A = this chain, B = another copy of it.
Amino acid sequence: MAKRRLHLLKRPKNTHTVNQIPGTMTYVGHKAGNETKLDVIDYNKEAYERFSSKSTEDAFKFMDEDRITWFNIDGLNNISEIEKLGKHYELHPLVLEDIVNTGQRPKIEEYQDYLFIVAKMLYFEQRGDSHEIVQEHISFIVGSNYLLSFQESDGDVFNPVRERIETAKGRIRSRSADYLMFALLDAIIDNYFIVIDDMSDRIEALEESLFTAQPNDDITIEIQDLKKNILRIRRAVFPLREVISRLEKLESELIEEKTKNYLRDLYDHIIQISENIDIYREMIWGLMDMYMTTISNKMNEVMKVLTIMASIFIPLTFIAGIYGMNFEYIPELQWHYSYFVLWGVMIFVFLMMLYYFKRKKWL
């Protein structure tokens, strides 16, 4: 079972930086070692350009007014580069703080010229034999013709979207930045489905092992582990419902009317995931109760074996003990057939006991 063990990366100790001046950027995530990478995709219906860079200034040169520009920043520990982007797009200091603050919960904020969206990615990562659920902080800045996305590491969650832009599949190249935002949120939510499905598999596997395995603390640990995971996934997913619901109802020039149908679709998906999470939650809670009954059942079985063995042999041993006494005068002892009669009595007692336990259905 160890191989299927599922982890959420440990919460970093100080997800919140205490006593710092509000608006100060401090990255507190667990991927502090990653280098910050900048990936820019510049496109419209006809044109498509993509390049990577480590410097923000490089990127600005290539930007074009009548194209959609998607800046994707991988790695949040290079504060200065993010600050340059912030200055260029005139982002509020609190927005910059939240971009790198991995403790921030999903939310949406509407500013004059842009929308600020925070979400959580959940995806699998291979660690040795097992795969782990990784939770990653992601933020979007959606402007009129640009979209900035800030990730903790360069995962491959957005690759299908990149491919669709490159190969001009679907509507994406002919729509504006809000549709790109939708496509990226859709990719994030698609990954929720994968994680949730895996959760469901694990619940079923655990359920089966409840009945086959001997009682042991590993199962308790496993169930508690699942509980924590579902609670954390819930916390990552549930606030996003509100975010998407508000996006759908937003009256802003940044969101085209025809994109709203797609956002409504997205909302359906996130509700579907939420419902599943709540069902799995109830199932996991139920697992503990189930486990208690299986332990009790096994205890019952153990006790029955003991009771049957003891109830049969203790009386017989007593009988044998009687005739092991050294009294001078025990009449039965002299009789020649006593021993055989006694065996008869003992077998009779034994059979009566068997019959009694049979009738009680303990055998």
State the A residues within 8 Å of B (CB). 11, 13-16, 18-19, 21-24, 92, 94, 97-98, 103-105, 107, 109, 160, 164, 169-172, 182-183, 186-187, 190-191, 193-194, 197, 200, 207, 211, 214-217, 220-221, 223-224, 227-228, 231-232, 235, 261-262, 264-265, 268-269, 271-272, 275, 279, 282-283, 286, 288-300, 302-307, 309-311, 313-318, 320-339, 342, 361-362
B315 and A309: CB pair below 8 A?
yes
Report the minimal beta-carbon distance from A40 to chain B, rounded to whole angstroms.
22
Closest to A170 in B: B21
B309 and A309: CB pair below 8 A?
no
Report the minimal beta-carbon distance from A276 to chain B, rounded to whole angstroms.
8
Given known A292-B292, A307-B302, contact A339–B334 (CB-CB < 8 A): no
Given known A279-B231, A303-B302, A330-B326, contact A296–B294 (CB-CB < 8 A): no
B321 and A314: CB pair below 8 A?
no
25 pairs of residues in contact across A and B, judged by CB atoms under 8 Å: A13-B197, A14-B197, A19-B160, A19-B187, A22-B182, A97-B265, A211-B220, A215-B296, A215-B297, A215-B300, A227-B283, A289-B292, A292-B292, A293-B295, A295-B296, A296-B299, A305-B307, A307-B309, A309-B314, A310-B310, A320-B321, A325-B339, A328-B335, A328-B336, A328-B338
A334 and B328: CB pair below 8 A?
yes
A16 to B197, CA, bound (A): 10
Report copies per complex.
5
A297 to B221, CA, bound (A): 13
Closest to A265 in B: B94
Report the minimal beta-carbon distance from A243 to chain B, rounded to whole angstroms.
13
A153 to B310, CA, bound (A): 61
Residue from the set A22, A172, A221, A316 with the largest chain B CB neighbour count within 10 Å: A22
Given known A328-B333, A333-B326, contact A262–B293 (CB-CB < 8 A): no
Closest to A238 in B: B275
**Sample of 8 more A-B contacts, CB < 8 Å, known A211-B221, A320-B321:** A94-B265, A104-B272, A296-B299, A299-B300, A313-B314, A314-B317, A324-B325, A329-B337
B235 and A275: CB pair below 8 A?
yes
Contact check: which of B19, B92, B317 meets A318 at CB < 8 Å?
Answer: B317
Taking CB atoms, residues of chain B closer than 8 Å to A269 are 16
A200 to B182, CA, bound (A): 36
A164 and B211: CB pair below 8 A?
no
A294 and B220: CB pair below 8 A?
yes
A311 to B98, CA, bound (A): 64
Report the minimal beta-carbon distance from A138 to chain B, rounded to whole angstroms.
16
B215 and A211: CB pair below 8 A?
no
Closest to A334 in B: B328
Closest to A118 in B: B268
Closest to A160 in B: B19
Residue from the set A193, A325, A330 with the largest chain B CB neighbour count within 10 Å: A325
Closest to A315 in B: B313
Given known A314-B317, A317-B314, A336-B328, contact A268–B299 (CB-CB < 8 A): no
Residue from the set A109, A182, A321 with the largest chain B CB neighbour count within 10 Å: A321
Closest to A335 in B: B328
A324 to B97, CA, bound (A): 86
Taking CB atoms, residues of chain B closer than 8 Å to A227 are 282-283, 286
Report the minimal beta-carbon distance from A184 to chain B, rounded to whole angstroms.
12
A337 to B330, CA, bound (A): 9
